[in-house]
Structure 1
Amino acid sequence: MDARWMQRRVYGADHDDPDPGPRDGHEYVELSGGPLDGLLLDVTGIPEADRDEGGVLVTEIGRYGAGGKACYGPALARPWVWLWEGDIP
């Protein structure tokens, strides 16, 4: 795993988790832009082909507040980075 990711927080980790960082043996993409900027998303078990579609992630800190979602999709030149595409209710 890339050493620069070891100190990063993983999307979905509890705020009181004493170790909210990445786990050995897991695969991650970096979320870039938008309300989840800088977090890592665990994509372990998601087939490569399905990762091309990106994901819709629940977040309370986006444009629509509690229950809102942030849309992220892979960067063409850097598939390990998912770029923010906007928020939806």
Structure 2
Amino acid sequence: MDARQVYDGWGGERCELVPGRVLVDLAGGPLDGRLLDVSGWRAEGRAEGSLLVTDLGLYGPGGRAFYTPAETDLQGDRPFRWRLSGPCARVRA
């Protein structure tokens, strides 16, 4: 079975792709190629995207990366695209 790295805030876990788990690809930026588990997220939360903590990239430990779905993603099944990175949780899009 294929296993991909899923973002968990601590460096990622390897997991097998299993039915019932909703995963979206992270495209671009420091977390490019990883998956984000959005199982249980409401549609509003998925539409807003997510500010993710990562030690990868320009800002090192404690850095943040903001990912959002494409504006044209009405189904909620397309990758979350990297928008910007910053040094702390005060990053604004």
By how many angstroms is 1:77 displaced?
A: 3.7
> Gapped runs of 5+ residues in structure 2?
88-93
By how many angstroms is 1:73 displaced?
A: 0.6
Q: What is the identity, as a one-letter code, of the residue corresponding to 1:63? A: L
Match for residue 7 of structure 1 among 3, 28, 40: 3
By how many angstroms is 1:15 displaced?
A: 5.8
Whose helix proportion is higher, 1 or 2?
Answer: 1
- 1:29 and 2:27 equivalent? no
Q: Displaced runs of 4+ in structure 1, greater than 4 A?
A: 13-17
Identical-pair percentage: 41
Per-residue CA distance 1:17-74 (angstroms, 9 max, x = gap) = 5xx1244321011100000001000001111122110000000012211001000010
Match for residue 67 of structure 1 among 62, 76, 86: 62
CA RMSD after TM alignment? 2.4
For 1:82 and 1:59, locate their aligned partners in 2 and report how far apart those are by CA, in whole Å: 16
> Gapped runs of 5+ residues in structure 1?
none
Report the equivalent of 1:41: 36
Whose strand proportion is higher, 1 or 2?
Answer: 2
